[in-house]
Amino acid sequence: MAGVAVHLKGIGVSPGVVVGPVAKLSPPPVLPAGMVPSGDPDADIQRTREALDRVRAELGERSAHAASVAVDVLSAQAAMAADPVLAASIFGKIRDGRAAPEAVKDALAAFGEQLLSIGGYLAERAADLEDIGNRVISVLLGLPMPGLPIRDEPFVLLAQDLAPADTATLDAANVLAIVTEQGGPTSHTAIIAKSLGIPAVVACKGAFAVQDGTRILVDGMTGAVVTEPSEEEVAERVGRLAKRRAAVTEYSGPGRLSDGSRVQLLVNVGTSSDIERAGLADCEGVGLFRTEFLFLDRPGAPSVEEQRETYRRLFESFSGRKVVVRTLDAGADKPLAFVRMADEPNPALGVRGFRTARFHPDLLDDQLRAISRAAMGSGADVWVMAPMVATPAEAADFARRAHELGLPLAGAMVEIPAAALRADHLLHAADFLSIGTNDLSQYTYAMDRETGALPELLDPWQPALLELVRITAQAGQRAGKPVGVCGEAASDPQLAVVFAGMGVTSLSMAPVSLAEVRAELSLYSAAQCAKAAELALAERDGESAREAVGTYLDSVLQT
Ligand code: PEP
Ligand code: MG
């Protein structure tokens, strides 16, 4: 591929733009079936001895360059490769008539099993032993050595996928970026790369075909990977990133588009310790207070007084700001012993969320009572909403109960397609709507949100999900009532732009995502956001929607 710019596309999971030479992480070797021994055991033993020496030397060399946490692991591995007992076992198998690579595999597997049977720390070393075996076999077969490459210069690490063991010794000073052919936005690679601040692109089809040493550009925001990029392309992408980064540091305070239109930025709160932290965030309030933590792991519901005390803590740290409390969302992924229905074969489709109030009405009324008492005199602008509302009648029932208990603003979460499709009707009684994209994806695509089996179906860029968001947001505009998004999708900066373009009035997310979302929103006008939404909705799947919007927003930044 050298010399010709080739554009590849993956999912950007850790932002940053870098250019550097590729170093590939080779996959473990596969032993050819039915290997026959060479017929010269002494020569095979000599070759194996040399392979062991080479692996030991390379691991020793790596440990000399590794970051502190990895030194011990690598030195221990180097020592294993030099172990005379291990070598004697391999040589014995060669003398017994095994081909050298098979002898290595068998001997190391036997040692690995012994370590596993001992358990504890030694069992954890079994994977290291397997790694040594793979390296020695690769040398014997004339293949590139698997595992993290060693280079004098910093490089872009290219892999099919990264195993946790590969990332344990990853050195952020040497690895400019990571590109993997497999993996998804929640893969191990994505999480590690983000935490190390290394730009990363995953699910990049065709990347592994790029040759070692090729100069490659990686854009961890847009997911673009370009081999042999032109100087203009590098400058352009670096320039765009600089613009985005400048926006991140430049902006604080309420969420706004470039033309001054407002999009409220709120945070999600879900644990007791979140309460204090959230109060310090640069946000306009709480968009989703998940109250389940108060009810979990106990035989019965907390008293009204105990609940009031917890709600009061949150309301006081948000005095002067808005707090949207979601009432108990029991069932399915949030099971509660005292609310469980007997024998539901499909709990996700069972009596969960607001539906539990039909069987336990006091539980809901007590919670509303506690919220109402805590709100009094707290200074916070307290709203309440019910989870998993399916029908206008449910929304009306919830609103009536909340209003009667002194809570003036009562809304419904839109997490079921039926609720989105009838959002106009829900808004006859509900004061606002809040879209829970996590459950709305699950129910729209009939794909369990807890399993990662078909990640593309849970991609929040899927146009059918976006269509339901649009229907709900437009219903809000017609009714003149707020419609927010509080699922994970709200924390994707470019999806936030799309939601703003659909008329969503607030976005609620983990505090860590606020700065990037705020900055991204600040770069585009309402008309440009609307255009982004239109482009996403015109696409046929999540990947192409993400790409169409990414390309359009990049073009806006260039002008
Ligand atoms: C959602 O479903 O998107 C949501 C915000 O609620 P939870 O994740 O708590 O189910
Ligand atoms: Mg939900």
pTM for this predicted structure: 0.68
Domain assignments of the chain as residue spans, ordered by start: 6-23+155-164+177-184+193-239, 41-141, 264-558
Q: How far is ligand 1, taken at its centre, from the CA of residue 200, in Å?
A: 27
Q: How far is ligand 1, taken at its centre, from the CA of residue 316, in Å?
A: 24
Q: Which atom of ligand 1 lies closest to the CA of 415? A: 2
Within 10 Å of residue 483's Cβ, how many Cβ atoms? 26
Percentage above 90 pLDDT, the chain: 58
Residue 474 CB–ligand 1 contact under 6 Å:
no
Q: How far is ligand 1, taken at its centre, from the CA of residue 512, in Å?
A: 18
Amino acid at 290: R
| Three state DSSP letters for 129-163 | HHHHHHHHHHHHHCCCCECCCCCCCCEEEEECCCC
pLDDT tens, position by position, 11-30: 887 888 999 999 998 888 98
Q: Which atom of ligand 1 lies closest to the CA of 488? A: 3
- DSSP secondary-structure letter at 104? H
The confidence score (pLDDT) of residue 104 equals 94
Q: Which ligand is nearest to the CA of 291?
A: 1
Four-way CATH pick for 6-23+155-164+177-184+193-239: 3.90.1200.10, 3.40.50.10680, 3.30.230.10, 3.50.30.10? 3.50.30.10
Residues of the chain with pLDDT below 50 are 1-2, 69
**Assigned token pair, 380:** 């916070």
- State phi, psi for 194 to the nearest 5 degrees: -60, -45
Q: How far is ligand 2, taken at its centre, from the CA of residue 440, in Å?
A: 8
Tell me if 352 sits within 8 A of 287, measured CB to CB.
Answer: no
Q: Which atom of ligand 1 lies closest to the CA of 489? A: 3
Q: Which atom of ligand 1 lies closest to the CA of 436? A: 3
Q: Which atom of ligand 1 lies closest to the CA of 435? A: 3
Q: How far is ligand 2, taken at its centre, from the CA of residue 293, in Å?
A: 14
Q: Which ranges constitute the DSSP H helices of 382-462?
A: 392-404, 417-421, 423-429, 437-445
Tell me if 267 sits within 8 A of 514, measured CB to CB.
Answer: yes
Residue 237 CB–ligand 1 contact under 6 Å:
no
For residue 173, give the 3-state DSSP assignment.
coil
| Three state DSSP letters for 333-397 | CECCCCCCCCCCCCHHHCCCHHHHHHCCHHHHHHHHHHHHHHHCCCCCEEEEEECCCCCHHHHHH
Residue 547 CB–ligand 1 contact under 6 Å:
no
Atom 10 in ligand 1: residue holding the nearest Cα: 439
The confidence score (pLDDT) of residue 69 equals 47
pLDDT tens, position by position, 219-228: 988 889 999 9
Q: Which ligand is nearest to the CA of 488?
A: 1
Beta strands in 436-517 (DSSP E): 483-485, 506-509
Mutate to test the pocket of ligand 1, among 266, 327, 329, 336 (most ligand atoms within 8 A of CB): 329
Q: Residue 506: left if φ>0, alpha if ψ -120 to 50, beta else—which one?
A: beta
Active-site position among 204, 283, 486, 529: 486
Give every CB contact of residue 34 below 8 A, 6+ residues apart in sequence: none
Q: Which ligand is nearest to the CA of 270?
A: 1
Atom 4 in ligand 1: residue holding the nearest Cα: 436
Q: Which atom of ligand 1 lies closest to the CA of 387? A: 6
The confidence score (pLDDT) of residue 239 equals 87
The confidence score (pLDDT) of residue 408 equals 98
Burial label, 89 (beta-carbon count in 10 A; 0-12, 13-18, 19+): middle
**Assigned token pair, 194:** 């983000």
CA angle 116, 120, 121 (to 5 degrees): 95
The confidence score (pLDDT) of residue 10 equals 86
Active-site position among 188, 360, 403, 425: 188
| Three state DSSP letters for 507-555 | EEECHHHHHHHHHHHHCCCHHHHHHHHHHHHHCCCHHHHHHHHHHHHHH
- The CATH number given to 41-141 is 1.10.274.10
Q: How far is ligand 1, taken at its centre, from the CA of residue 288, in Å?
A: 9
The confidence score (pLDDT) of residue 517 equals 93
**Assigned token pair, 300:** 């019965």
- State phi, psi for 381 to the nearest 5 degrees: -95, 95
Active site residue 486: yes
Atom 1 in ligand 1: residue holding the nearest Cα: 436
Q: How far is ligand 2, taken at its centre, from the CA of residue 543, in Å?
A: 24
Residue 439 CB–ligand 1 contact under 6 Å:
yes
CA angle 440, 444, 449 (to 5 degrees): 60
CA–CA separation, 340 and 252 (whole Å)? 44
Four-way CATH pick for 264-558: 3.30.420.40, 3.40.50.300, 3.20.20.60, 2.30.42.10? 3.20.20.60
Residue 288 CB–ligand 1 contact under 6 Å:
yes
> DSSP string covering 50-83, please?
HHHHHHHHHHHHHHHHS-HHHHHHHHHHHHHHT-
Cross-strand pairs, 325: 289, 384
Residue 265 CB–ligand 1 contact under 6 Å:
no
The candidate with the shortest Cα–Cα distance to 253, out of 262, 244, 245, is: 262
Residue 221 CB–ligand 1 contact under 6 Å:
no
The candidate with the shortest Cα–Cα distance to 523, out of 219, 220, 250, is: 250
